[in-house]
Amino acid sequence: MSDAATPADLNLFDVMYNCRAMRRLDTREVPEADLLKMVDAANQAASGGNQQRGRWLIVRDPAQKKAIADLNFEVSRDFVQARIDRGEELPHHDKSTRARMLDAVLYLAEHMHTYPALIVACLEFDERPDDLAASAGSIWPGVQNLLLAARALGIGAVPTTYAINKRAEFESILDLPETIAAYALVPVGYPLGNFGSVTRRPVEEIVRFDRWS
């Protein structure tokens, strides 16, 4: 599949295999209808007990975007720079590939406020639980649907969590009531670079049949 493939050319597997984290995005506005289409797709995902507690905030107001971007910058900048400085690598990511990714994370931190929309994935509870992580499985399928829908529409997106590490500040910027908790922050916009295929470990390495040993 070529990088220039239009949404109509993409089948589901094309979308899944070409849904890279897109961190360098244009400032050009994304039509509201497409933002809503992405959230509607997110809302089709499974949730535990079909409770459908997913809530989505689309942030476009410049001051709100700046406040969120500042928080993301504050949390990620030094941490990511330190990872670049020590030449981080992984078994499946050599130093230069890793450095390119971390550079993109820094670029995102520096430019997030200029992107057309920041989508925040939340869950609404009757009463806020002490352990928010226990419910995370009911929002991440929706986040993945959101990413796939964005890719199918030719819109770049990346799931992020750095800013949410400062949960109290993050939720206060968004005026979230006690009963709504944020789980992911997804900046979206038209990509400055090309879409491309993801690079993952081969399936033979990560699967076993029947038992592990």
Ligand X SMILES: Cc1cc2nc3c(=O)[nH]c(=O)nc-3n(C[C@H](O)[C@H](O)[C@H](O)COP(=O)(O)O)c2cc1C
- Look at the chain and count its residues: 213
Query: Least distance (Å) from ligand X to the CB of residue 142?
Result: 13
Query: Least distance (Å) from ligand X to the CB of residue 75?
Result: 8
Nearer to ligand X, 32 or 110 (CB): 110
Nearer to ligand X, 60 or 83 (CB): 83
- Look up residue 76 and give its amino acid: S
Nearer to ligand X, 147 or 209 (CB): 147
Nearer to ligand X, 41 or 108 (CB): 108
Nearer to ligand X, 116 or 156 (CB): 156
The overall longest dimension of the chain from CA atoms, in Å, is 54
> Which residues here bind ligand X, judged by CB under 6 A?
20-21, 23, 101, 105, 108, 158-162, 198
Nearer to ligand X, 36 or 96 (CB): 96
The residue behind tokens 């550079």 is 103
Query: Least distance (Å) from ligand X to the CB of residue 167?
Result: 13
Mapped to the 3 state alphabet, what secondary structure does the chain carry?
Answer: CCCCCCHHHCCHHHHHHCCCCCCCECCCCCCHHHHHHHHHHHCCCCCHHHCCCEEEEEECCHHHHHHHHHHHHHHHHHHHHHHHHCCCCECCECHHHHHHHHHHHHHHHHHHHHCCEEEEEEEECCCCCCCHHHHHHHCHHHHHHHHHHHHHCCCEECCECHHHHCHHHHHHHCCCCCCEEEEEEEEEECECCCCCCCCCCCHHHHCCCCCCC
Query: Least distance (Å) from ligand X to the CB of residue 71?
Result: 11
Query: Least distance (Å) from ligand X to the CB of residue 74?
Result: 12
Query: Least distance (Å) from ligand X to the CB of residue 211?
Result: 28
